[in-house]
Amino acid sequence: MPHRILIVDDEPDLELLIRQRFRKQVVRNEYEFVAAFNGLEALDILQKDNEIELVLTDINMPQMDGLTLLKEMRELNSPVLRAIVISAYGDMENIRTAMNRGAFDFVTKPIDFEDLGITIRKTLLEISNLKQAQEARDSFLAVQRELDIARRIQQAMLPQDSPPFPDRKEFDLAATITPAREVGGDFYDFFMINENRLGFCIGDVSGKGIPAAIFMAVCKTALKSIAVKGTPVDECFQTINSTLVQESPSNVFVTAFYGILNIQTGELEYSNAGHNPTYHIDSAGEVKPLPFVDGIPLGYLNDFQYGKQRITLQKGDTLFLYTDGVDEAMDKDENAFSEKRLKDTLRQCARVSLSDLNQSVISKLHEFTGGIPQSDDITMLALRYSP
């Protein structure tokens, strides 16, 4: 597609000379010239024809001079439109004013057409670079809009109600998630399996960004669809694992913890698929991990037999689930926050509300990292048994 160039001069001879001198470019469909005989006419053309990229304009013209035209061109808000002014050699004051009003370059009369050709090519190269930058910016903004939509969709997949089960007095729940990017691979969920059994889980997909977010959606949906049927925790993981091994890329897997709490008896049944330990905070403030249960990440190895454990929670006991974005958060010297610091924080905040507990951990993380950008998703889920 040819570059459209507007010639603005009250002397018709200039247009004819330019067309003649650049006839090869016109024949090769490189340049296409449009003419106006004053600034007013030129402005009207520019307002109707947004394909014009370059304006060659004289300064001294009737009705609207070139300096006024340059001022009006700025109001068009075109990010790529550029102007070259043409004026007498001794008219440097007006040329300086033209440059201050946005002219990209200038040539003097009598015109050296070789110099004009170089100036046009240089200006068109600038315009081409500006177009590429504009296209890149538009593409970036489009991706940002899509990521924002993806973020809102992903957030909508997570439980949103606060408190989540206002009519249930036997337990309390609070969860928070902070992706390292617009979307992330962490997830949590909780749901009533029946009147007396509460299911809850947390997971962390390997990787970050869009691929992890897509895999997160698959894992969370699959886990809940199996779990709400009352499937035992170990069998739930085995079913999901078999599916993911067959369907997912070889380098993508997910660590997860899934527990079922009987809210009448306090009995907790749980399984762990290679995830961080879940901490048990008793009513006296003692913090220790739940008894170990063997498990590997979901989607990693087919036919793996997941184990399960059972304990009984007492009134006032709290469970704290988290992803490795917490304990592996780094300070400026690349020291990790660590499980020790996490346990110390949990011990100090054992008796606060669950939302305050989560916020205290976040505050300690920010204090420790000292403003270092977050490198991994941070997710926490706290559950307190209070029959």
How far lies 27's CA from each of 32, 118, 131, in Å? 9, 19, 24
Contact between 293 and 174 (Cβ < 8 Å)? no
> Measuring CA to CA, which residue among 192, 200, 193 is closest to residue 220?
200
Global confidence as pTM: 0.70
Q: How far apart are CA 302 and CA 321, in angstroms?
A: 26
How remote is the C-alpha of 344 from its chain's centroid? Answer: 33
**Tens place of pLDDT for every residue, the chain, 387 residues?**
899 999 999 988 888 999 999 999 999 999 999 999 999 999 999 999 989 999 999 999 999 999 999 999 998 988 899 999 998 877 889 989 999 999 999 999 889 999 999 999 999 999 999 999 888 888 877 777 776 776 677 677 778 777 788 889 999 999 999 888 767 789 999 999 999 999 999 999 987 777 778 888 888 999 999 999 999 999 999 999 998 888 776 678 899 999 999 999 999 999 999 999 999 999 888 999 999 998 999 998 888 999 999 999 999 999 999 999 999 999 998 999 999 999 999 999 988 999 999 999 999 999 999 988 888 889 999 999 998
Q: Which two tokens stand for residue 179?
A: 């992706």
Give residue limits of the domains in the chain: 3-136, 158-385
When the candidates are 3.30.70.360, 3.50.50.60, 1.10.287.70, 3.40.50.2300, the CATH number that belongs to 3-136 is: 3.40.50.2300
Q: Into which CATH architecture does domain 158-385 fall?
A: 4-Layer Sandwich (3.60)
